[in-house]
Amino acid sequence: MPSDINKEKIEAAVLRKLLDHLRKNTDVQNIDLMNLAGFCRNCLSKWYLEASRDTGQEISYDEAKEIVYSMPYEEWKEKYQK
């Protein structure tokens, strides 16, 4: 089992891969993710926001969504939401 520090680095890398995967697969709609997995990009944004608060580095919900979507949320919706 990896040490706590290595585990955190691994978990961070996994999150980056998940976000990258979702960014590349814009055809996967949030509603489909919710129905299939019980979470979506917006959930990830909320979890990101919560983690920012927990670490004392609070960001806004809009900033969290922009990190997850890799662009402003409204722009993503216009381009990719069906």
CATH (domain of 27): 1.10.3340.10
Q: How many domains does the chain have?
A: 1
Q: In this structure, how many other beta carbons lie within 10 angstroms of the beta carbon of residue 64?
A: 22
pTM for the full predicted model = 0.89
How is 9-60 classified by DSSP, letter by letter?
HHHHHHHHHHHHHHHH-TTS-HHHHHHHHS--HHHHHHHHHHHHHHTT----
Give the domain range for residue 19: 4-80
pLDDT mean values, one per 10 residues, the chain (82 residues): 84 97 97 97 98 96 98 97 92
**Cα Rg, the chain, nearest whole Å:** 14
At residue 5, the pLDDT reads 77
